[in-house]
Amino acid sequence: MKIDVADAGAGEEFTSRFDPRAFCGGVAAKLKRPRFLGIVASAALAMTMARKANGRVDGFVIEGVSAGGHNAPPRGPMQLSDEGEPVYGERDVPDLEKIRELGLPFWLAGSYGAPGKLAEALALGATGIQAGTAFASCEESGITSELKAQVIGLSREGNARVFTDPVASPTGFPFKVLQVEGTLSDSETYGARKRICNLGYLRRAYKKLDGSLGYRCPAEPVADYVRKGGLEADTVGRKCVCNGLLAAIGLARVDGVSDEPALLTAGVEVANIVQFVKPGSETYSSAEVVERLLKTED
Ligand SMILES: Cc1cc2nc3c(=O)[nH]c(=O)nc-3n(C[C@H](O)[C@H](O)[C@H](O)COP(=O)(O)O)c2cc1C
131 Cα: distance to centroid of ligand 1 (angstroms): 7
> Using a 6 Å CB cutoff, which residues line ligand 1?
39, 63, 66-69, 109-111, 113, 130-134, 136, 265-267, 269
HSE of 247, CA atoms in CB hemisphere, 13 A: 21
pLDDT, residue 29, reads 86
pLDDT at residue 252, rounded to an integer: 87
pLDDT in tens, 90-137: 999 999 999 999 999 999 999 999 999 999 999 999 999 999 999 999
If you measure from the C-alpha of residue 199 to the centroid of ligand 1, how many angstroms do you get, rounded to a whole number? 21
Tens digit of each residue's pLDDT (9 = 90 or more) over 8-67: 999 999 999 999 889 999 998 888 999 999 999 999 999 999 999 989 999 999 999 999
Q: Which atom of ligand 1 is nearest to the CA of 265?
A: 1
243-260 confidence digits (pLDDT tens) = 999 999 999 887 766 689
Is the pTM above the cut of 0.85? yes
The 3-class secondary structure across the chain, one letter per residue, is CEECCECCCCCCCEECCCCHHHHHCCCCCCCCCCCCEEEECCHHHHHHHHHHCCCCCCEEEEECCCCCCECCCCCCCCCECCCCCECCCHHHCCCHHHHHHCCCCEEEECCCCCCCHHHHHHHCCCCEEECCHHHHCCCCCCCCHHHHHHHHHHHHHCCCCEEEECCCCCCCCCEEEECCCCCCCCHHHHHHCCCCCCCCCCCEEEECCCCCEEEECCCCCHHHHHHCCCCHHHHCCCCCHHHHHHHHCCCCCECCCCECCCCCCCCHHHHHHHHHCCCCCCCCCHHHHHHHHHCCCC
- Asked if 40 and 142 touch (Cβ cutoff 8 Å), the reply is no
Beta bridge partners of 130: 109
d(CA 206, CA 203) in angstroms, rounded, equals 9
β pairing state of 106-109 and 59-63: parallel
**Distance from Cα 67 to the centre of ligand 1, integer Å:** 6
Mutation test of ligand 1: which of 63, 144, 270 has the most ligand atoms closer than 8 Å to its C-beta? 63
Q: How far apart are CA 275 and CA 289, in angstroms?
A: 9
Residue-level pLDDT at 298 = 55
Q: What ligand 1 atom has the least distance to the C-alpha of 39? A: 11
Q: Which atom of ligand 1 is nearest to the CA of 269?
A: 26
Burial-class residue 262 by CB neighbours within 10 Å (0-12, 13-18, 19+): buried
Give residue 203 CA to ligand 1 midpoint distance, Å: 21
The overall average pLDDT reported for the chain is 95
* pLDDT (tens digit per residue) in 198-232: 999 999 999 999 999 999 999 999 999 999 999 99
With a pLDDT cut of 70, the percent of the chain lying above it is 98
